[in-house]
């Protein structure tokens, strides 16, 4: 199957309401409006095909890029390849699929994390904070958590929405996992008020850090 043939498969699956939502959220106009389940079903049919995945990224179509993250082989990318892909990412959904399916499985992700944490490009910075949050929860040795809280307090209010979301995620995870820093993490969240009024579906935890921290700490008992 070629990239062109895949695009022809994806296009008729698009729905106007989904397309409008993605455009509103920053995807640009090159989007069909295909549901996540349909993209995953096509990926299951294709299985692993790195060269096809690379070709699917090139046209800039959102659904093709989402599908690309599911069929490529992460370790076949160079660190430079991944760094070059991120500036094209403007939608959080695509940023998260690229992170979850590709970047987190790359052997040079720590070096990329350090590099991206110094970037002012929104998608790179989002990826840097996402990888830093992974370190906070799984392997915090060597991280200066107090310095991370200082930076979040200083930078999150004016941050672009792409990195702001993962900065908030990092703030919450520090508060959840490190009791000695919990009071400060909650205080930062209260002071900044980021996502205080964010709409939340029934049964979901609010992304407002103080509520999120409290809910997860209570859940852990």
Provide the percentage of residues in the chain whose pLDDT is more than 90. 95
| pLDDT higher than threshold 80 for residue 221 | no
DSSP symbol at 192? H
**Is there a single domain that holds both residue 111 and residue 211?**
yes
Helix (H, G, I), strand (E, B) or coil at 140: coil
Closest to 131 measured CA to CA, from 91, 102, 160 = 102
**Is there a single domain that holds both residue 66 and residue 117?**
no
Cβ neighbours of residue 201 closer than 8 Å, sequence gap 6 or more: none
Q: Evaluate whether 73 touches 50 at the Cβ level (below 8 Å).
A: yes
Mean pLDDT of the 162-167 span = 98
**Is there a single domain that holds both residue 220 and residue 142?**
yes
Mean pLDDT of the 36-54 span = 97
Of 72, 89, 112, the last residue of a domain is 72
pLDDT confidence bin for 202, thresholds 50/70/90: confident
Domain count, the chain: 2
What is the pLDDT of the chain when averaged over all its residues?
96
| pLDDT higher than threshold 80 for residue 54 | yes
In this prediction, residue 203 carries a pLDDT of 84
Report how far residue 71's alpha carbon sits from residue 189's, in angstroms, rounded to the nearest whole number.
38
Task: Provide the sign of the torsion angle of the four alpha carbons 201, 204, 207, 209, taken in this order.
Answer: positive
**Is there a single domain that holds both residue 119 and residue 205?**
yes
Mean pLDDT of the 63-90 span = 97
Of 72, 91, 114, the last residue of a domain is 72
4 phi and psi angles, rounded to 5 deg: -60, -40
**Is there a single domain that holds both residue 53 and residue 126?**
no
**Is there a single domain that holds both residue 63 and residue 7?**
yes
What range defines the domain where residue 38 resides? 1-72
Is residue 88 a part of any domain in this protein? Answer: no
Is residue 206 a part of any domain in this protein? Answer: yes
**Is there a single domain that holds both residue 107 and residue 187?**
yes
**Is there a single domain that holds both residue 201 and residue 119?**
yes
Is residue 134 a part of any domain in this protein? Answer: yes
Is residue 13 a part of any domain in this protein? Answer: yes
Structure token digits, residue 68: 């690309």
Q: Evaluate whether 113 touches 82 at the Cβ level (below 8 Å).
A: no
Q: From residue 191, give the alpha-carbon distance in Å to each of 164, 175, 210.
A: 15, 15, 10
How much is the pTM? 0.94
In this prediction, residue 92 carries a pLDDT of 95
**Is there a single domain that holds both residue 111 and residue 199?**
yes
Is residue 155 a part of any domain in this protein? Answer: yes
**Is there a single domain that holds both residue 110 and residue 213?**
yes
Closest to 144 measured CA to CA, from 97, 152, 65, 8 = 152
| pLDDT higher than threshold 80 for residue 180 | yes
**Is there a single domain that holds both residue 213 and residue 152?**
yes
Provide the percentage of residues in the chain whose pLDDT is more than 70. 100
Mean pLDDT of the 52-78 span = 97
Q: ∠ at Cα 86 (14, 28), nearest 5°? A: 35
Task: Provide the sign of the torsion angle of the four alpha carbons 123, 124, 126, 130, taken in this order.
Answer: positive
**Is there a single domain that holds both residue 68 and residue 106?**
no
Task: Return the C-alpha torsion angle 203, 205, 211, 214, nearest 10.
Answer: 90
Q: Evaluate whether 81 touches 109 at the Cβ level (below 8 Å).
A: no
Q: ∠ at Cα 76 (74, 80), nearest 5°? A: 90
Is residue 89 a part of any domain in this protein? Answer: no
Of 27, 53, 72, the last residue of a domain is 72
Structure token digits, residue 55: 């070709």
Is residue 86 a part of any domain in this protein? Answer: no
pLDDT confidence bin for 132, thresholds 50/70/90: very high
| pLDDT higher than threshold 90 for residue 176 | yes
């Amino acid at each position: 199957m070629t990239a062109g043939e895949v695009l022809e498969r994806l296009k008729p699956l698009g729905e106007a309401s989904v397309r409008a939502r993605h455009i509103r959220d920053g995807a640009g106009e090159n989007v069909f409006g295909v549901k996540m389940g349909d993209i995953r079903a096509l990926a299951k049919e294709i299985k692993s095909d790195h060269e096809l995945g690379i070709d699917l990224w090139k046209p800039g179509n959102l659904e093709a890029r989402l599908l690309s993250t599911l069929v490529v082989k992460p370790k076949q990318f160079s660190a430079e390849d991944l760094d070059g892909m991120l500036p094209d990412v403007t939608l959080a959904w695509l940023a998260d699929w690229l992170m979850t399916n590709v970047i987190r499985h790359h052997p040079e992700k720590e070096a990329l994390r350090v590099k991206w944490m110094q970037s002012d490009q929104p998608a790179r910075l989002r990826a840097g904070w996402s990888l830093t949050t992974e370190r906070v929860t799984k392997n915090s040795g060597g991280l200066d958590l107090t310095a991370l809280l200082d930076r979040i307090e200083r930078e999150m209010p004016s941050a672009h929405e792409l990195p702001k979301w993962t900065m908030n995620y990092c703030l919450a995870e520090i508060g959840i996992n490190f009791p000695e820093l919990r009071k400060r993490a909650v205080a930062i969240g209260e002071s900044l008020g980021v996502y205080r009024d964010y709409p939340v579906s029934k049964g979901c935890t609010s992304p407002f850090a103080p509520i999120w921290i409290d809910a997860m700490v209570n859940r852990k008992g």
